[in-house]
Amino acid sequence: MRCTNRVSAGIQEARQLLKSRSKTRLLSPNGVKRGGTPRRGSRVSRRGWVGMRWAGLCLAAVIVTATQATPAGAKTHADAKISASLLALAQSKPMDDFAVIVRAAVKLNNGHHAERAAAAVQRAHGKVGRGLSIVGGASAILTGAEVLALANDPDVGYVSVDEAITATFDPVDGAALASSPGILEVGAPAAWRQLGVTGRGIGVAILDSGIAPHPDLLGRIVASVDFTTGSGTVLVAPADPGGHGTHVAGLVAGDGTASGGAYAGVAPGANLIDVRVIAASGSTHVSTLIAGMQWVLAHRNDYNIRVVNLSAGGPTTTSYRDDPLATAAEMLVFAGITVVVSAGNEGPAVRTITSPGNDPYVITVGGIDDSGTAATADDALASWSSRGVTPIDGLAKPDLVAPGRRIVSLRSPGSTLDQELPDRVVAGLDPLAPAYFRLSGTSMAAPVVAGVVALMLERSPALTPGQVKNRLKSSATALSYGSPETTGSGMVSAVAAVAASDQSAGAAADPVSAGFASEMYAQVYGQPLSWCDLAFNGGVDSNGVPWSGVTWSNVVWDAVTWQNVNWASFNWSAVNWQDIAWEDIAWEGITWEDVAWELVPVKDKGRKSHGGGKVLD
């Protein structure tokens, strides 16, 4: 389809430039002299000048002349490239330090996004942290004034807070008072007996504080890497200085060796991949989580990683479409990895789902209190379990719930939790060497579901993350208490989920995040790009192809050069491209750099610092 006659001569000229693999851009405030001619740059509507939407015009071929002053109170082009929460902080505290994530503007002929983001930070006199290729950017430390200056750089696409995040466990007292029948309640032992599945051969990546060696995991921790001290150190021997990750790992895949089977996990045959992203203190940052996800994506085929468990969350301060953590999670999902996350422990208040649980493509798990019995009649929604709908976007979450209160799993002797909570220690077969520990929180509910996913994938290895999620929700046990915004579809049922045969991916998905779309769509259709506004053209691209009828097998993958990533395995058919606001996204192509690119983390020089988010209990 050709663009309409409403396209100006300047737009037609830009289309010709587009055909020769050049692109036009909106101008940043420092990119044009008053009364002068604007230079070319990337079009970023939502992240660019507010109100500059040009419906009906070719998206990648727009020339904008800056002739009018910015209205009082309106965001400038540069300000719109900064998340709202960060912009307010930077303006009010220009001399304070802020941990941020800087994503590069997408370029056609220069795909080294993380390197370009780092270079932009250095030009603004900030301190570069680590490369985050999976979201096309880098982490950094900048003062408020430096953040504001950075947004003027044409190489910068978006700047957001590198939120402080902590593991979501133990929000209540008294967690050491009862036994742990949760595994029985979700029917895991019945699934082992009736369906012959234990998760054998399925790799589950635990993004947490580490995994300590334990008799219940013998021979099944197949890889360990640590991102809490730098760019990713491969560990000769697994360890867990925090204690949280070992507990989570046991709920996924412990086999109960040290307890005579009493405290087994849901998938006792699954393999574990230890990705340490949470410090011994229980805290971390978004950039560290993203680095761990990036490693998982690059190594997913090495260890058959089909499931990721993330029992941590941070404050939801922006739409998932602009959240770099959501973008990283979606990268994993469309690469065929089911991502299971905790809903958060911010209940009973509504709209308290934490990030990345606010993303529609992940499986978000809330927690129930099983009252210390295997019966369901005395169950109740845990008071601390975060409720929906999601902040900002208003999506229905959590997706489902699982037991999360007073759950017994593996102990990491000498860890932070072990020292701080000695009353939570639980003996196994050897009372002189207690091997177990009791914790509460949605951190404990999420790995129960992750274990069920491992069982499902052993039986049906061809399932996509969308199909997994649909089967989990459609087979969940309906609850007499709660609502879709508190308990989702109900409590996970291992037998029903594993035995399900539905091949559907469920209802139409929500739009993917802008970060995922901007990085990936150019790869789907190849280059050059010449899209027209879908809203104006009735859902048809500029070549006359309806978006709903795209044949994904025709994707041209030749331009993809990111090492260790087989983009052809991405489940593109599950992506809802039709509702993406394409006029809001800069299309200039992509060539991913090597995922291993990293910079040495910086150390604070003593200025007042802001992590950007509150710490969870």
pLDDT, average across residues 47-58: 27
CATH of the domain at 358: 3.40.50.200
- CA 125/CA 149 separation, integer angstroms: 10
Any domain includes 594? no
- CA 263/CA 436 separation, integer angstroms: 8
Selected catalytic residue, list 208, 399, 418, 541: 208
Question: What is the domain extent for residue 443?
Answer: 166-499
Selected catalytic residue, list 77, 113, 244, 299: 244
Which of 573 and 252 is assigned the larger pLDDT? 252
Catalytic site residue 173?
no
Any domain includes 155? no
Q: What is the pTM of this model?
A: 0.73
Any domain includes 113? no
Cβ–Cβ < 8 Å for 69, 77 = no
Q: How confident is the model at residue 494 (pLDDT cuts 50, 70, 90)?
A: very high
Instruction: Say which residues have a Cβ less than 8 Å from residue 345's Cβ, sequence separation at least 6.
Output: 168, 169, 171, 367, 384, 385, 386, 441, 442, 616, 617
Any domain includes 401? yes
Instruction: Say which residues have a Cβ less than 8 Å from residue 273's Cβ, sequence separation at least 6.
Output: 203, 204, 205, 206, 221, 222, 223, 224, 296, 299, 303, 305
Q: Which residues pair with 313 in a beta bridge?
A: 166
Residue count of the chain? 617
At residue 436, the pLDDT reads 96
Catalytic site residue 208?
yes
At residue 360, the pLDDT reads 93
pLDDT, average across residues 546-564: 32
Omega before residue 389 within 30° of 0, cis: yes
Q: How far is CA 485 from CA 3, 70, 353, 401, in A?
A: 43, 41, 10, 11
pLDDT, average across residues 192-217: 96
Cβ–Cβ < 8 Å for 595, 566 = no
Show the DSSP H helices in 318-464 as ranges.
324-334, 416-420, 442-459
Rg (CA), the chain: 24
Instruction: Report the domain count for the chain.
Output: 1
Q: How far is CA 21 from CA 456, 460, 541, in A?
A: 45, 44, 18
pLDDT, average across residues 397-416: 95
Any domain includes 118? no
pLDDT in tens, 71-98: 444 456 677 899 998 999 999 999 999 9
Burial string for 154-169 (b: 16+ CB within 10 Å, else e) reads bbbbbbbbbbbbbbbb
- CA 24/CA 530 separation, integer angstroms: 11
Catalytic site residue 125?
no
Any domain includes 415? yes
Any domain includes 467? yes
Any domain includes 420? yes
Selected catalytic residue, list 443, 493, 513, 518: 443
